[in-house]
Structure formats: C-alpha cells, structure tokens
Amino acid sequence: MGKTVSKLELGEIVGRDERTLSRWQNEGMPVIEFGVGRGNENQYDTQAVIEWLMRQAALNGKKESTRDRLDRIRGDREELALAKDLGEVVIEAEIVQRFEAVITAAKIELLNTFPDELAATLSARYGVEVDDQLVREPIELILRRLSAYEDDGDLDGDLDQPDDTEGTEEDGD
C-alpha cells in the first residue's frame, strides 16, 4: 500500500488537476474512502492509483473489456489469497480483533491486579499502609483519556499540555 492522500495531494503527485482526477475516478480510478458531507475529502492510495494509471496506459486508451476486467479481478484475488497464505498480508478485521483482545487484557491487569500488587509491595517495602485506590485512580484517568482516542490520532484533551495554565506565562524580568 502506498501513501494515503487527498485529491489535491494526488493531483500534485501525478501532475493533473482535480477535474481530471474526478474524470478518472468516474472511469474507475480506485478510491480508498469517499468523503461524506461537506468539507470531507476522498482519500486515495498512491500505489493503487499509479497501478491503475499503468493499466490504463497499457490499454492505449482502449476500454477494458468485461472479460479482461473479470480476468484481472480474478488474478488480483488469487494474488491476495497467495499473499495471505504466505503471511505477507493480514486481514484488517483479524488485526482489530487481536488488538482489542490485547487492550482488554491490559485494562483488566491494570485495573484489577496491578493496583493491589503495587500497594502491597510499597506497603511491605516502606512499612506504611498504601491504599490501592491511590494507584487505581491515575490508571483509571489514563484509561479514560485513552478511550477518548479518535481514529485521526487526537485525544480529547492534549496529553502534552499541562492541565492548569498557572505559571506558564513568562516573567517579564
């Protein structure tokens, strides 16, 4: 897979204007994601688009016949199946399922086991009673912030910025 780009970026890469790209899209140029609603742009995989352009060039302006298209699609499916069998590609749903299982296991460990064990270890080591809630609360806060994670990589509330802004202004010395 190549780089994911907008129509404007794709136009700069292939040296064509957006009207040409719209025409190509109507002629079958691949689109990863169609932007729904005002202001949301379509997303394109540069590798897929370049491969499509190469196929178009190989046809010398002739339309691909239904039979040729079907043969090409079958060939693509066979290539994908072989790549999957060889472990070169992984199905997105499988990755998501595995990732969710790992996250769930980590949350269970962080919420149920870790606070009790850490509180007991600290109590034994330093001879003071440590309440496991002191460990649990920051973990819960972190997990809440992570659960607000958006697909675009943004978190509700910037983790890099301090929560309070007191004392962040520079003194005029």
Cα(10)–Cα(17) distance, rounded to whole angstroms? Answer: 9
Q: Hey, what are 114's tokens?
A: 């870790």
Mean per-residue pLDDT, 73-77:
92
Q: What is the pLDDT of residue 170?
A: 46
Q: What is the pLDDT of residue 122?
A: 93
Q: Which of 56-70, 102-116, 158-172 has the lowest mean pLDDT?
A: 158-172
pLDDT of 169 strictly over 90: no
Q: pLDDT tier at 153 (50, 70, 90 boundaries)?
A: low
pTM for this structure? Answer: 0.39
Q: What is the pLDDT of residue 39?
A: 64
- Amino acid identity of residue 158, one-letter, is D
